[in-house]
Amino acid sequence: MAEKYDSFDLEPQSVIESKMTEIIRAASQSGALGYKIPVVDSYGGQVDDDPEVLVKNSSPAVWVTYVGDSDPGRKLNRPDCALTYLIIVYVRNVRNEKASRFGGSKQAGAYRILNDIKRMFIDQDLGLPIKPFEFVSTRPIYSGRLKGHFTSIYGITFKTRSFLSVLQKKAADLDDFLRLFSTWTIGTEKSEFNFNVRSKNNHE
Domain boundaries 2-163, CATH class: alpha beta
> To the nearest whole number, what is the mean pLDDT of the chain?
75
Percent of the chain surpassing pLDDT 70: 62
Q: Kindly tell me if the per-residue pLDDT of 139 is higher than 90.
A: yes
pLDDT band at 62 (very low <50, low <70, confident <90, very high): very high
Contact criterion met (CB below 8 Å) for 166 and 178? no
Mean pLDDT within 12-37: 93
CATH 3.30.2000.10 placement within the chain: 2-163
pLDDT band at 149 (very low <50, low <70, confident <90, very high): confident
Mean pLDDT within 93-107: 63
d(CA 29, CA 84): 26
Mean pLDDT within 36-61: 81
pLDDT band at 109 (very low <50, low <70, confident <90, very high): confident
Contact criterion met (CB below 8 Å) for 8 and 129? yes
Top-confidence residue, 173 or 124:
124
Percent of the chain surpassing pLDDT 90: 36
DSSP labels, the chain: -GGGGGG-SS-HHHHHHHHHHHHHHHHHHHTTTSS--SEEEE-SSGGGS-HHHHTTS-SSEEEEEEEEEEEEEEETTEEEEEEEEEEEEEEEESS-HHHHHHB-SSSB-HHHHHHHHHHHHTT--TTSSSPPPEEEEEEEEEEEEETTEEEEEEEEEEEEEEEPP--SS-GGG-TTEEEEEEEEEETTEEEEEEEEEE-GGGG-
Q: Is the pTM of this model over 0.75?
A: no
β-strands 189-198, 61-75 pairing: unpaired
